[in-house]
Structure 1
Amino acid sequence: MSFIRLATPLRSAVPRTAYRRLSTQTTPEKKSNNTALYFLGAGIAGISGYIYLTGSATAKVKATNTESPLDPKSFKDFKLKEIIPYNHNTARFVFELPNNEAALLPVASCLVVRSPEDLPEDDPRALKDSKGKPVIRPYTPVSQPDEPGVLTLLVKKYDNGVASKYIHELKVGDKLAFKGPLPKYLYKANEFEEVALIGGGSGITPLYQILTHALPDPANKTKFTLIFANLTEEDILLREEFDDLKKKYSDKFDVVYALDKPKEDWKGETGHLTGEVLKKYLAKPELGEKVKVFICGPPGQVNAIAGKKDGYQQGPLGGILKELGYKEDQVYKF
């Protein structure tokens, strides 16, 4: 808050006759300056008092809960607080957590969502597929696990995406049911010397969760390389955040963007991720247990690079990574 805004109400409280008296004094400058100094001192004192009481003018509120307000065994409804458009087909959906609590999601983990619990399944507004069956979909939040009061999903709307369309039709004040957290991979600091993360489209969110957890840790020694494939430059999600991470942690993080349909001035990788491209950026498989590759993206991309998942199980390693000599315990498919 500026001094002018603080001082203005004080000035307005002085009677106009006082200003007229000041203007007709034979020694107006001295008294006027004293008055100005008085108000300046009062303004500074007010600011100082505010900072003293709050700790700082920009003091951050921290969550104090030790247990997550989410439930891994049952769905709970949370209200949509804000919608923040991201690009032509993606937006951030910010849901409100009670009592300014934090989600406390372990890294790496996800949530599953469905239509609100207080909405009967036979209600036409419920989230259902073309056969009328309830639809449940997993999402990895992009808000930080310790961020108080909010749970944020970054959702890309797909033409054939029943859940993504449903979420994009929500309005502020509407509810969505969440269940979780559901652990995926228990990340341990400095477990590996080098980690490669291969992402495609909206599959970037679990990889983002790992990076924003590991890189800010002052004790982190692991080198991370993100290879992020998209259709066009406009489709690159969280690009500003990744570029910022690269600036802050240039000795521990690098990011490579690849596009199927680049513009003429594009300087990154082009086309699908091939063995030749991956070999340029991935740590050698000969490093054994010192290297890990995480991958998340459209099923076709995951199948081609690491082999098909077996439902919720990893399934056998296949595709390009197997051809390059990686072993199953070196690869994890989200």
Structure 2
Amino acid sequence: MSFLRFATRTLRPVPVCHFSTSTGGTPKSSSSNLPFYLGGAGVTGLGAYLFLGGSPAPFSTTTSKPKQKQEKSALDPERFLDLKLKSIEPYNHNTSRFVFELPDGGAALSPITSLVVVRASEGSEHAPVDKKGNLAIRAYTPISSPDQEGELVLLIKKYENGVISKYVHERLRPNDTLAIKGPIVKFPYKANEFEDVALIGGGSGITPLYQLLNHALNDPVNRTRFTLLYANVSEGDILLHEELATLQRAHPDTFKVVHTLDKPPAAGWSGASGYVSRELVQAHVPPAQKGDKIKVFICGPPGQVSAVAGKKDGMKQGEIGGILKELGYTEEQVFKF
């Protein structure tokens, strides 16, 4: 979007409305303009000059332009871009936030429930490869807002057998680059398509669920009720703990989070304990009988996904199974990230 600006020369300041989201430079007066007023305007100009207090009226010097609305993602879903690592922010004992710079200060403009694919940049030392000798790739869901300008934030947990996660944690330093491609949409979420949405997550599988929650709950037109069942080993393993608590405080009528731990603390723990069980699902997830008014999203370790919703078949959803099948949920009601 662009707007026309008019520079105005006048002896008396005239209010001007600028259609801009930013403020232009402050006009300055200069006594060097006195000959212009005296010579070009004669006695009348001199009278106006004296009437205005001995200083000529300022020229309009506003030159700032309104910022154009970004229409295209700073990322590319068809090819990898080398993004510079801006900073590393430790989160807990095995997870950190990795902040990458987006080209030209743009935004990712990632549709909700979309991911990015990452690999080492070409020519990087110690670049991990797959069994075929090609650069290994992994998918991550950004936790930064889709319209956050200039930055893409990935919350990456380090796994001892994680090819990419170990590389990122052990080899990458600020100013290094990582090749990133995306955004790639996983599920075409629409506001208020469902009355209830249940999200079941484990460990770092929280990231796509959080992305959906953060977007939907902060949408002023949202009427969908969300319930999150989030499983971890210990309290220190809970990712985005405060962010989830903040969402629950801000949206008490439409969001409930239930934490469950394999190893809960001996005292002071008010959540559940153990894995995501049939009993936990029955207690907190709306029943399958709600039909197309209920949707269940799940993302977590393969063992959890298999036990709760049936094994995922590579990039395909795979058949419904596990606890959700036992409780009568159908493949149409369940989506596995």
| TM-score computed with the length of structure 1 as normaliser | 0.79
- The alignment status of 1:284 with 2:293, answered yes or no, reads no
Equivalent residue of 1:91, what SS? strand
Q: 1:130 Cα deviation (Å)?
A: 6.9
State the Cα distance separating 1:179 from its structure 2 match: 0.9
Distance 1:130 1:217 in 2: 44
Q: Which segment drifts farther, 197-206 or 128-137?
A: 128-137
Change (3 A) 1:63 1:330: farther
5+ long unaligned stretches in structure 2:
1-21, 25-65
Q: Offset of 1:273 from its aligned partner?
A: 1.0
Which residues in structure 2 correspond to 1:1-334 (within 5 Å)?
53=23, 64-117=69-122, 119=123, 124-129=125-130, 132-169=133-170, 170-265=172-267, 266-334=269-337
Distance in 2 (alpha carbons) for counterparts of 1:145 and 1:137: 20
Residues of 1 paired with 2:127 and 2:67: CA distance? 35
Number of corresponding residues:
273
Measured in 1, the distance between the counterparts of 2:314 and 2:78 equals 20
Distance in 1 separating the partners of 2:280 and 2:163: 34
Question: Counting helix residues as a fraction of each chain, which structure ranks higher?
Answer: 1
> How far did 1:65 drift?
1.8
SS in 1 for 2:153: strand
Match for 2:169: what amino acid? H
Give the conservation status (yes or no) of the 8 Å contact 1:63–1:101.
Answer: no
Larger radius of gyration: 2
Residue type at the aligned position of 1:136 = I
Contact 1:296 1:333 (C-alpha < 8 Å) held by counterparts? yes
Structure 1: runs of 5 or more not aligned: 1-51, 55-60
RMSD: 1.7
Give the secondary-structure state (helix, strand or coil) at the position aligned to 1:144: coil
How far residue 64 of structure 1 moved from its aligned partner, in angstroms, is 3.4
Give the 3 Å change call, closer, same or farther, for CA 104–89 of structure 1 in structure 2. same
Secondary structure at 2:116 match in 1: strand
Query: Partners in 2 of 1:179 and 1:331 — Cα distance?
Result: 27
Among all aligned residue pairs of Structure 1 and Structure 2, give the percentage whose two residues are the same amino acid: 58
Bigger drift between 124-133 and 158-167 goes to 124-133
- 1:70–1:180 Cα contact (<8 Å) kept: yes
